[in-house]
Chains A and B, each alone.
Chain A
Amino acid sequence: MSAGVGVDLENLWIRFGDFVAVRDANVHIKGGDFFSFLGPSGCGKTTILRAVSGFLDPSEGQVLIGGNDMKGIGPNKRPTALIFQNLALFPLMKVWENITFSMEIKGASAKERRKRADELLDMIALPGQGDKLPSELSGGQRQRVAIARALCAEPDVLLLDEPLSALDLKLRQHMRTELREIQQRVGITFIYITHDQGEALTMSDNIAVMRAGVIDQIGDGKTIYNDPSTAFAASFVGENNVFRGTVKQVQGDKALIATNRSGDLLARISTANQGKMKAGDDAMMFIRPEAFALAPAGTQGDHFVTATVTNEEFEGNSFNIFMEGEGGKEMKVSLPNLGQSFDSHKGQPMTLQYDVQNAVALPAGDLATE
């Protein structure tokens, strides 16, 4: 299998009539990467995938696979294989016929195909299941058959359109690990579409966060989680607490923000926005639930927050505390359960502190609603 074929999107625009589905996307996916497009439904990520697989022509810009412009090359001629959200296995063909359909097209003999199917069935840990019909398999097994069918075509790039969304939670988590393992074994480029940030973070080498046709940020999981470049990325990926306000003062790579509810708070300006924020700008500050720690009651300062506790819950590995937050949304705080005693503060004010490095200041922007 030829490893390491990269995919580049250059100034890609896709319009449906007046509607802009993808706006000026520039993405460079390295060969052998596990790359995810992450965004809420309707953000244009599936549209991008269809443009890469060839089912859709870009309105402007280019799709390059392995450096070659794919303009005018149909889906049946591209070195890509697509795994559909509903898998689209052929219900009337046996599993082995499904898997080797791409070989049948090329005129391979039944014997050859059978042999290859058995190899692939071994690889996806379904040996001896070739003579069943897809309807006789479980959801997870069908999932693996769809992967084997796509891999059988020996594509340079495997495209996956939310293939795990139909599975139940446990199986989904198991398949994450399995998909990642398969990708590392075959070494080809995977492009993965998902709205599930957990999937994107656990599997991907790199992630593009999309919103309403625009790519907000591209980076590895850690960067996107810790150093988001837009308010949308900060609120969409993982849980986050938002503090709205205006920039009071910029101090090097930090900004003092006059928040609407919690006084002046200090935060690190995200890397992408260094030098772009100035006093008086509308700003948002984000602090993750796990970035808070308890502080002595009533302590004041630029990294202390005091608010009334509305609810508390014990999740086993952590205590979750919900406090009065911004715009009717509760502020969530997670304290790891290290066996410490924990006094209920329900209905009472509670003071928290945070490390300024873990608070991110961003220009005000749209938040994710999901």
Chain B
Amino acid sequence: MPRFLKEFFDRNGLGIGSLMLGLVLFWTIGLIILPQLSMLDFSFRPNLPPPEIGGPKDVYTMENYKYLVFGPEGGSQDYNAVDLKVFYRTLVAAIFVTIFNLILCYPIAYYLAQTKGNHIRIFALMLIIPYWINEILRAFALRIIFGETGVLNNLLVAAGIFDTPFDFVRNDIALYAGLGYAYILLMIFPIYNVIESLDRNQIEAARDMGASWPMIHRRVVIPYAKPGISSGCTMVFMLSAGALAAPQILGGPSSLWFTQLIYQQFNDNSDWPQGAAYAVVLLVTCILLVLALMRVFKVNMGDIGK
């Protein structure tokens, strides 16, 4: 038995230790790894009617992946331009949402973490309570705000800023706002947690030595908050790229999110293998992108867990 396991059992006793270990293993293997492996398996199989499953035609194939890149066999185009474009746009938009979220949340997190007093608790509560409302309702609420005859347009037209209502939905502004709003807590709290443990004297020491506020943030606060920033960014990026409700409700008629394509394959086309292949591509690309960015910004895997 490896030492850490032995220590774990020594500390928790055999009964509780086995229970905890069993639950964790069930969680990771039974609920995460096995279903994902099954998806991976699906993605390499042809879409067959049930009687033929396990038959001679049920062999591993790259067909589903080829479809994403090249489109249907004998199609009119060399590449599956429509789906690839959606894929690309989804990733770019998810990155954009993440950056926008970071810019919005860093000052809030800093303020929450470095200010003392009861009003901070009220402030934090005001951030949390809207999340008691479910995601779909929140998305519809935003649709009401951003709609053509919505609250925002009424206000802007009444104020004389626009002559005619602006189509926030068609221009994807509603979508970005919805995605951004959906995950701000996941950005704020990791950053807040880290900055809260930053010794205020360090900020004062930097100020005492003549540093300006941008300099203090660049050299003292942000390097310290880096684990929180990367953990927040990772979560927001992953969840934005994989979001379904917000794009479904707030996306314009012409703009598809890649997850919507996956949904269509599973649900409308009943083509699970194709859907699985799309999902695998999205997952792997997101993971590789995150790992690459972590390397660029010199973040360790261990920092993310902080």
Contact = CB atoms under 8 A, between A and B. Distances in A.
Contact of B209 (A54, A74, A91, A101): A101
Interface string A59-75: 00000000000000011
Contact of B210 (A53, A86, A91, A102): A102
B223 interface: yes
A86 B209 contact: no
A77 B209 CA distance: 8
A90 B209 contact: no
Contacts of B199: 86, 88
Interface residues of B, number: 17
A88 B219 CA distance: 14
Contact of B206 (A85, A91, A101): A101
Interface size class of A (residues with CB under 8 A): 20 to 34
A88 B224 contact: no
A88 B204 contact: yes
A76 B223 contact: no
A153 B201 contact: no
Contacts of B205: 82, 84, 88, 90
A73 to B, nearest CB: 12
Nearest to A102: B209
Given A75-B207, A75-B208, A90 B202 contact: yes
A355 B209 CA distance: 52
B204 A105 contact: no
Given A77-B210, A82-B208, A86-B199, A105 B223 contact: no
Interface string B52-95: 00000000000000000000000000000000000000000000
A92 B210 contact: no
B5 interface: no
- B interface SS class: helix
Interface string B194-227: 0000010110111111111001000110011000
Contacts of B212: 76, 105
Contacts of B223: 92
Interface string A152-189: 01000000000000000000000000000000000000
Nearest to B211: A105
A314 interface: no
A328 to B, nearest CB: 41
A75 B219 contact: no
Give the one of A53, A76, A81, A149 with max B CB within 10 A: A76
B234 to A, nearest CB: 20
Nearest to B202: A88
Contact of B224 (A81, A85, A92, A149): A92
Contact of A101 (B201, B204, B211, B224): B211
Interface of A: 53-55, 74-77, 80-82, 84-86, 88, 90-93, 101-102, 104-106, 149, 153
Given A101-B211, A105-B209, A105-B215, 5 more contacts: A53-B208, A88-B201, A90-B206, A91-B224, A153-B209
7 tightest Cβ-Cβ pairs between the two chains A and B: A88-B201, A102-B209, A88-B205, A76-B210, A84-B201, A82-B208, A88-B202
